């Protein structure tokens, strides 16, 4: 009898241990999934559900501060907690113009060392509306130099050169871009080229662009490039190319990128990265289809900072 009772006790302990291990495994997998899909929240008013949020609503919500946004879609996202603080049409599939180049740069950075030498391939005739810096076939640059040109000056010739050098053709490279989007669960994103021309199959959403931006900023070369107002790159023969940012908010001490874009269909687009090192607040903002992207970004940022107090 005593042996039987002892065996039952051992069985109970093992069962409880296995249950705890299973429970821990489920929690671990859920946590991993939420980390990878941090902005996969329901649409509608944002509820703060974290047991220990890094922010809380301020006593007075100043929602009227963002009522005048011109953007078709917009959001404000707390980078520390992974929570959406403001959203407007964040799942709408919209043209994103040169915000496309964030993915172009990220895919290149994932597959190549920055020190690799790129021999510029023969480039196709580029649309005259695109920004170029004037690189030519046969010139040699490092990957980092062309990434810098792609992100600071939004240089379409640099982005196209990287795409063709990497994959042999723009078509093959775009397949890599779409694989990237699928692998990260960007369900409202599709690419039709590496530079962001207006095409029906080239689109993303404000929600997906937050995740794209998080991934891009994990790369130190990309993070440094989008935070640079101007620099110069030099090919291996000594020819210099001046790069100037298209981001008017750089240089005020609290905005650190990220990327602009403008086309006829997309309107003005901007992904912004705000950081206050004094209190640890970090925001990513997205505005798409704006008529004044920088004013919209400032309104959205200021309203978010007024509407929430960080704990």
Give residue 44's pLDDT band: very low, low, confident or very high (50, 70, 90): very low
Instruction: Tell me: pLDDT of 198 over 90.
Output: yes
pLDDT at position 40: 31
Q: Where are the domains of the chain?
A: 73-310
- What average pLDDT is seen over the chain? 83
Q: Where are the beta strands (DSSP E) in the chain?
A: 55-57, 73-78, 83-88, 117-119, 140-142, 230-234, 240-244, 255-263, 267-276, 281-290, 308-310
User: Cβ(205)–Cβ(188) under 8 Å?
Assistant: yes
Q: Return the CATH number of the domain spanning residue range 73-310.
A: 3.40.710.10
Element (H or E) spanning 209, and its range? helix 206-217
If you average pLDDT over residues 164-192, what whole number do you get?
97
% the chain with pLDDT above 90: 71
* Span 78-90, pLDDT tens digits: 998 899 999 999 9
Which pLDDT belongs to residue 37?
30
pLDDT score for 175: 98
Q: Is pLDDT at 59 greater than 80 in this prediction?
A: no
Tokens of 213: 């931006």
User: What does the alpha-carbon distance between residue 143 and residue 29 come to, in Å, rounded to a whole number?
Assistant: 36
Q: Which residue has the higher pLDDT, 30 or 178?
A: 178
Residue 130: exposed, middle, or buried by beta-carbon count in 10 A (0-12, 13-18, 19+)?
A: middle
Confidence of residue 259 (pLDDT cuts 50, 70, 90): very high
Q: What is the per-residue pLDDT for 2?
A: 43
Q: Give the pLDDT band of residue 55 (cuts 50, 70, 90).
A: low
The pLDDT score that the predictor gives to residue 81 is 87
Indicate if the pLDDT at residue 100 is higher than 60. Answer: yes
pLDDT for res 306: 85
Locus of tokens 């994932």: 110
- Report how far Cα 97 is from the mean position of its chain's Cα atoms: 14
Q: Are 165 and 120 in contact (CB under 8 A)?
A: yes
Confidence check: pLDDT of 274 > 80: yes
């Amino acid at each position: 009898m005593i042996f039987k009772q002892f065996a039952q006790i051992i069985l109970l302990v093992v069962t409880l241990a296995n249950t705890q291990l299973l429970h821990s495994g489920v929690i671990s997998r859920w946590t991993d999934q939420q980390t990878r899909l941090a902005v996969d929240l329901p649409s509608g008013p944002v509820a703060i559900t974290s047991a220990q949020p890094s922010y809380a609503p301020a006593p007075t919500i100043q929602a009227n501060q963002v009522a005048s946004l011109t953007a078709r879609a917009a959001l404000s996202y707390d980078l520390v907690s992974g929570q959406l603080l403001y959203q407007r049409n964040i799942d709408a599939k919209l043209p994103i113009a040169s915000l496309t180049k964030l993915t172009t740069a990220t895919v290149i950075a994932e597959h190549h060392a920055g020190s690799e030498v790129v021999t510029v391939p023969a480039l196709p005739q580029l649309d005259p509306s695109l920004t170029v810096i004037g690189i030519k076939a046969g010139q040699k640059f490092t990957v980092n130099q062309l990434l810098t040109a792609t992100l600071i000056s939004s240089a379409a010739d640099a982005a196209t050169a990287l795409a063709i050098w990497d994959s042999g053709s723009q078509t093959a490279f775009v397949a890599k871009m779409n694989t990237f989007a699928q692998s990260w669960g960007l369900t409202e994103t599709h690419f039709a080229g590496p530079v962001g021309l207006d095409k029906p199959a080239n689109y993303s959403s404000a929600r997906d662009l937050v995740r794209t931006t998080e991934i891009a900023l994990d790369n130190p070369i990309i993070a440094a490039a989008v935070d640079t107002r101007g620099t110069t790159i030099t090919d291996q023969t000594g020819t210099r190319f001046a790069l100037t940012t298209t981001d008017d908010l750089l240089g005020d001490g609290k905005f650190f990128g990220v990327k602009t874009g403008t086309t006829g269909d997309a309107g003005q687009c901007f992904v912004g990265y705000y950081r206050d090192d004094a209190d640890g607040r970090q925001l990513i903002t997205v505005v798409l289809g704006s008529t004044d992207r920088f004013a919209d970004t400032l309104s959205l940022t200021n309203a978010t900072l007024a509407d929430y107090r960080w704990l």
